[in-house]
Amino acid sequence: MSKAMQTRQFIIERTATIFNKKGYMGTSVADLTIATGLTKGSIYGNFENKDAVALAVYHYNSGSLTDRIAETIPESGTAYMQLNSIIQFYRQHWKEVFENGGCPLLNTAIEADDQLPHLLSAVRSSFKNWAERIVGILEQGKKHGEFKTRINSIDYAHTFLILIEGGILLAKTLADHKHLYLALDRVMAIVDQEIRN
């Protein structure tokens, strides 16, 4: 990795939590310089502008979360085990996720929806990829006879995302993780009652 790439990565990592907690609009240049110890000129010598920093940080935050969840999914396990491992990740790591500002997909989606098209496109891609991952697990379960073949995998994948992200939103807003647990319980109830053979 070149020195320039190392500096870019340093900036991204040092500002990741700030952007996730404060959002794009709430994060100032002063926040960036304080977090990195670099001057404004040094930061913008490595990134074209604040938009570029925010986009790189979003990819870092969303990628880190996605990678951590993916690491918990047993590739050789059953489809049911894979879905359960996603749920267990949130049960076991909700506190850490919340301390870092919550889900970067949800945070960025809320802020980018009406005013930040350069970030909205990235968030849409993240949600699409996340849904496709769940669809893949559901289709695997159908193929191996674990899950009912008549289920609409895309609809269920989106339902799971709605429940999980909604649970995170309510849990963070009301400062009570039981709302996330309620959503996670509902996902598994749907799997057990509507999807499994």
124 lies in a domain? Answer: yes
pLDDT of residue 113: 86
Distance of CA 12 to the CA centre of its chain: 17
Could you tell me where the DSSP H helices lie in 116-192? Answer: 117-143, 153-173, 178-190
Tokens of 51: 């938009």
Residue 24 in any domain: the answer is: no
**What is the per-residue pLDDT for 15?**
97
Per the domain annotation, does 3 fall within a domain?
no
Average pLDDT along the chain, 197 residues, taken 10 residues at a time: 91 97 95 96 94 96 95 90 96 94 95 89 96 97 97 98 97 96 98 97
Give 48's DSSP letter.
S
Structure-token pair, residue 56: 């790189």
CATH code for the domain of 92: 1.10.357.10
Cβ–Cβ contacts within 10 Å for residue 186, how many? 16
Q: How far apart are CA 177 and CA 10, in angstroms?
A: 32
